[in-house]
Copies of this chain bind each other. A is one copy, B any other.
Amino acid sequence: MIIEKIDKSRFTPEIFNIQSFGTAFADHMLVCSYKDGKWGEPIIKPYGKLEFTPAMSVAHYGQGIFEGMKAYKGSEGDVFLFRPEKNFERMNKSAVRLDMPEIPEEIFMEGLKALVDLDRQWVPDIYGMSLYLRPVMFATEEAITARSANEYLFVILTAVAPNYYNKPLSVKVADRYSRAANGGVGYAKAAGNYAGSFYPTHIAREEGYDQVIWTDDATHTLIEEAGTMNVMVRIGDKLLTAPTSERILNGVTRDSMIELAKSSGIDIEVRKITVEEVYNAHKSGELKEVFGVGTAVVVNNYVAVGYGDERLELPDLPLEESYGKSLKKKLVDLQMGISEDPFGWRIKVEEKLVEA
């Protein structure tokens, strides 16, 4: 690993007041290029522009995958990652489906830790805030022909993360547009999945909603997931979430919430959820909560779910009565190093991993 340190840090404490997500980049980034069938040496260098040809294939054919994770700072100043091996594994699953080279564990893990260690002052020690970590890989080959590229760049970017949404969301159940096909790339964190979702989200916004809850593309009868969140539904005192499938991203937060729910004695069931049962549960007064879970949003308890022309309003339960809010607190407490970690999810980033 080559380290090129920035001459003078751009850090100022005011950066922690940032309101927008994914724009306040820390001092450094990691870059590593793939060519002639092999990965080169990773380089940590000042964050900034690079030279690319506009013929680079990701801009034409969309071979791009990414991950989203966070670094947290505890009250003692320790910096933690949360289940980073999950993101590493998922990144390589995405790589296989997009016909891209897998990234070696050492480059991903050691690179990530070294980068976070070097920019540790950028990790906010503020409850609910974090440094967002964005591993990304994209095709850079200078060739406009529709085939897998032979050259790629793996990059890790980091940016100070305020709350992703500073309000509870309202979501529209998809009845016209879709995010993923059977036999498609829905389970991968593939660039194209997001681009395809923006227009339907735009339409939903015009109808007064913030996000879309995706359903299966053939019948629009099954609840799948939301924009950048898996979805959990509470009917009565039972918490439900859809099984992952080739159409649904296997979220790390979803998995962690399932474990936390179980260990909290919440009755949670992983099974298919129909739009109809959610609608009926609302009519009968049994629909207590619907919430989205994901790294960026953590947990967002929805205020309303749109179904056709109807807007199903949801109650705003207090923390102690809400599964979503109470599990969110458990999760964040664990991530920030406030509570015990019986699962072994928290990984401390050692200091001075890197000799610069």
A interface residue numbers (CB < 8 A to B)? 20-23, 25, 29, 31, 48-55, 58-64, 66, 96-99, 132, 134, 136, 138, 142-148, 153, 155, 157, 159, 164, 174, 176-185, 190-196, 198-202, 217-218, 227-228, 296
**How far does the Cβ of A200 sit from chain B's closest Cβ, in whole Å?**
8
C-alpha gap A177/B181 in the complex (Å): 9
Contacting pair A62 B194 (CB below 8 A):
yes
Contacting pair B59 A191 (CB below 8 A):
yes
Query: Which residues of B have CB within 8 Å of A157?
Result: 54-55, 144
Q: A62-B191, A178-B184, A183-B177 are in contact. Are A144 and B98 (CB under 8 A)?
A: no
Query: Which residues of B have CB within 8 Å of A66?
Result: 60
Q: How many copies does the complex hold?
A: 2
**How far does the Cβ of A327 sit from chain B's closest Cβ, in whole Å?**
23
Contacting pair A49 B51 (CB below 8 A):
yes
Query: Which residues of B have CB within 8 Å of A200?
Result: 183
Q: Which of B21, B176, B217 contacts A217 (CB 8 A)?
A: B217
Contacting pair A59 B49 (CB below 8 A):
no
Query: Which residues of B have CB within 8 Å of A21?
Result: 145
Contacting pair A62 B64 (CB below 8 A):
yes
**How far does the Cβ of A300 sit from chain B's closest Cβ, in whole Å?**
14
- Nearest-neighbor residue (CB-CB) of A97 within chain B: B199
Contacting pair B144 A159 (CB below 8 A):
yes
Q: Name 16 extra pairs, CB < 8 A, besides A180-B181, A192-B195.
A: A48-B53, A50-B51, A50-B54, A54-B136, A59-B191, A60-B191, A61-B195, A62-B195, A98-B198, A99-B202, A144-B159, A180-B184, A181-B217, A182-B217, A185-B196, A190-B192
Contacting pair A198 B55 (CB below 8 A):
no
C-alpha gap A97/B180 in the complex (Å): 15
**How far does the Cβ of A156 sit from chain B's closest Cβ, in whole Å?**
9
Contacting pair B191 A193 (CB below 8 A):
no
Contacting pair B178 A58 (CB below 8 A):
no
- Nearest-neighbor residue (CB-CB) of A134 within chain B: B144
C-alpha gap A227/B142 in the complex (Å): 20
Query: Which residues of B have CB within 8 Å of A192?
Result: 62, 185, 190-193, 195-196
Q: What are the 7 tightest A-B residue pairs by CB atom distance, in nearest-first order?
A: A192-B192, A62-B191, A181-B181, A22-B144, A62-B195, A99-B198, A178-B183
Q: Which of B96, B132, B183, B196 contacts A184 (CB 8 A)?
A: B196
Q: Which of B63, B174, B194 contacts A183 (CB 8 A)?
A: B174
C-alpha gap A195/B149 in the complex (Å): 10
**How far does the Cβ of A351 sit from chain B's closest Cβ, in whole Å?**
26
C-alpha gap A259/B138 in the complex (Å): 40
Query: Which residues of B have CB within 8 Å of A182?
Result: 178, 181, 217-218
Query: Which residues of B have CB within 8 Å of A296?
Result: 145-146
Contacting pair B190 A62 (CB below 8 A):
yes
Contacting pair A59 B217 (CB below 8 A):
no
